[in-house]
Amino acid sequence: MGDLPMDQASVPYGRKTQRPPAIPAIDILWMTAGLGCDGDTIAMTSATQPSIEDLVLGAIPGIPRVSFHNPVLAYAVGDDFLQTFERAAEGNLDPFLLVIEGSIPNERNKNEGSWAALGTDRATGQPITTCDWIDRLAPRAWAVMAAGTCSAYGGIHAMAGNPTGCMGLPDYLGWEWRSKAGIPIVCVPGCPIQPDNFMETLLYLLRQAAGRAPMISLDEELRPTWLFSQTVHEGCDRAGYYEQADFAEAYGSIKCIVQQGCWGPVVQCNVGKRGWMGGIGGCPNVGGVCIGCTMPGFPDRFMPFMDEPPGAKLSMTAVVTYGRTVRALRKFTRASLNKEPEWRGK
């Protein structure tokens, strides 16, 4: 995803590697002032691998000390809370990692007013828009993360016809944008984010800041490759039913729910394997169809929800003959194996 400047990159030298100096402490500035619902912040509090408490209490060795600034979880309020953001914008806080939650509105598509803001300007008394904060903070940040699909790609608020003209952070800053440390925008999509996906990615960046990990690996959509390289279907509890063409005809069935509108076979997401909290849950695991919320085209390209996906009819037709044969062979084999051998005398 692009090379670091020579003074920051890992430079081979014989058998040793010269790395950037380790960062002993870092501030995490989390803005929830985009167009969103704070759902990603709430989801993040459920993380266990690691938990937010593990980070802020210094329970994980080998990473910088963390000071966490999130308006939902902070002790400081009002002007006291904004002071950290103001220091960072003025260049008096270094290093810091910027997390954006919520989509970024277009503040130029109207004659007056603002779509989204955080705090007020002390000199003018006017709201400081979310876009102004991003413009001030992003160039000074060690790294920038987009938490959730809204900040990554626009999400629900960027549906066709929305009045705000909102967009994801890569569309706002540019897909080739790099932080001052040479790090691309790191997108962890989800509506909301799978909590451990976000915290694991944040932990990786902290290890990178400590000089203990190489440049984070991202795909073309700026998602961590190790989290989003497989589809929901590949890790789904119901995938075996798809293989044998056993499709649910109604909600509540344990069978494959592609016919009920599940996009799992094509959507890149690991929630089927990882679950939601503590390894439990995850949309198709508990009967909910996948609606593609980790994908850049969400929601427009995946609507109407609950309808059979366009390719599902063709793929199901193709697998039906094979599936029936597989079921028949398995039934025959099970019948011969599901009893004791004759020589046991029963």
Q: Tens digits of per-residue pLDDT, 197-209?
A: 999 999 999 999 9
**What percent of the chain shows pLDDT beyond 90?**
69
pLDDT band at 7 (very low <50, low <70, confident <90, very high): very low
Percentage of the chain modeled with pLDDT above 70? 90
The single residue listed with the structure tokens 């759902």 is 39
Q: Which fold, 11-226?
A: Rossmann fold (3.40.50)
Q: Is the pLDDT of residue 151 over 70?
A: yes
In this structure, the dihedral spanned by the alpha carbons of residues 282, 197, 73 and 135, taken in order and rounded to 10 degrees, is -130
Mean of the pLDDT values across residues 54-65?
94
Residue 318 has pLDDT above 80, yes or no: no
Stretch 229-254: mean pLDDT, rounded?
89
CB 228 within 8 A of CB 78: no
More confident residue, 333 or 261: 261
Beta pairing class for 143-147 and 186-188: parallel
Q: Write the CB contacts of 286 (distance below 8 Å, at least 6 apart in sequence).
A: none
CA-to-CA distance for 212 and 245, rounded, in angstroms? 47
- Average of per-residue pLDDT across 276-282: 89
Q: Which of 169, 270, 179, 182 is nearest to 221 (CA)?
A: 169
- Inform me whether the pLDDT recorded for 315 exceeds 80: no
Q: What is the pLDDT of residue 53?
A: 93
Sign of CA dihedral 85, 41, 102, 189: positive
Residue 79 vs residue 2, higher pLDDT: 79
User: Which two structure tokens, joined as six digits, stand for 165?
Assistant: 């003209």
What is residue 2's predicted lDDT score, i.e. its pLDDT? 41
In angstroms, the CA 126 to CA 119 distance is: 9
**CATH 4.10.480.10: does it fit domain 233-333?**
yes
Instruction: Report d(CA 169, CA 327) in Å as an integer.
Output: 48
311 has pLDDT over 80: no
Mean pLDDT within 157-176:
96
What is residue 1's predicted lDDT score, i.e. its pLDDT?
Answer: 41
- So what's the pLDDT on residue 13? 32
What is the reported pLDDT for 316?
66
Q: Where are the domains of the chain?
A: 11-226, 233-333
Whole-number pLDDT of residue 22: 86
User: Distance (Å, rounded) from C-alpha 119 to C-alpha 140?
Assistant: 20
Number of Cβ within a 10 Å radius of residue 226: 14
| Res 314: pLDDT | 60
With tokens 């691998």, the residue in question is 49
pLDDT score recorded for residue 96:
98
Asked if residue 10 has pLDDT above 60, the reply is no
pLDDT on residue 93: 97
> Quick check: do 11-226 and 233-333 share a fold?
no
Q: CA–CA separation, 88 vs 23, rounded Å? A: 17
pLDDT in tens, 99-139: 999 999 999 999 999 999 999 998 899 999 999 999 999 99
Peptide bond into 163 cis (omega under 30): no
Helices and strands in the chain, H and E counts = 11, 9
* Span 151-166, average pLDDT: 95
Closest CA to 269 of 219, 215, 202, 313: 219
Q: What is the pLDDT averaged over residues 211-229? A: 97
Lowest mean pLDDT among 152-156, 188-192, 272-276: 272-276
Q: How confident is the model at residue 226 (pLDDT cuts 50, 70, 90)?
A: very high
